[in-house]
Amino acid sequence: MKILFVGDIVGRAGRRILKENLERVQSEEQIDFTIVNVENAAGGFGITPSIAEKILKMGVDVMTSGNHIWDKREIMDYFNRQPRLLRPGNYPPGLPGQFSYLGESAAGVSVAVLNFQGRVFMPIIDCPFRAVDQHLERLRKKARVIIVDFHAEATSEKMAFGWHLDGRVTAVLGTHTHVPTADARVLPEGTAYISDVGMTGSYDSVIGMKIEPSLHRFLTGIGSRFEPAISSPRFCSVIIDVDEVTGKARSVRRRDLA
């Protein structure tokens, strides 16, 4: 089976190029299951219920997120209504939302999706390594195909997370930095890995935001109001070919469109 994972959707430009290309990519690549990271989909910060529903209707099976998932307050109640929107699982207990989803491909293959967040250069929350260990065996009894979105800043932490889970999950896919990396590979025990899938949004930008406010902040040290850029959008994704019997990845490769 083939799984499509689309990197962080950033603002209107990201939503537009997703809508324009998703169905074609799914058809050309014969995709069985689609996951999209949506934490920057609404104005570059968070997601709203209405935008989430529109993305699901494009043919998305599960939406993952990261540290910006909390930016739109109306999403709190939406978590209770929509189990296909995930938030990182290593935030402290008691917060709304789920960090795992068990779904099925069109052919009836069980697919589990997990979402965790790094701590290096990020908000200090619970340990993602220990958090995934607490829940992984429970999910492995229900699905052999397990995809993990690891939303983190440091490539060292991402790579360590990949090695930690090698042979225990189908894929560890990095998000958050919005910069696509060239290190997609299958680790020795059968886990597909990439440090960052990259963003789906404007690439005439500074990680999706307009250039001028970003330059102002770096040149002056004074904060500026960030707004998503809109020009030169790019669709960034990876495609994982999976042995659905063993849950191991056969291959992982980028599929990017401008």
Known catalytic residues are 68
Residue type, 116: F
Residue type, 258: A
Q: Are 224 and 213 in contact (CB under 8 A)?
A: yes
Q: Are 8 and 201 in contact (CB under 8 A)?
A: yes
Burial of 106 from C-beta contacts in 10 A (0-12 / 13-18 / 19+):
exposed
The span from the CA of 191 to the CA of 129, in Å, is 16
The span from the CA of 150 to the CA of 177, in Å, is 11
The span from the CA of 238 to the CA of 108, in Å, is 22
Q: Are 198 and 182 in contact (CB under 8 A)?
A: no
Q: Around Cβ 83, how many Cβ atoms within 10 Å?
A: 14
Residue type, 196: D
Q: In this structure, what token pair is assigned to residue 84?
A: 């296909």
Alpha helices in the chain (DSSP H): 11-29, 49-57, 75-81, 128-140, 155-165, 211-220
Q: Which of 13, 17, 12 is nearest to 237 (CA)?
A: 17
Residue 118 three-state SS? coil
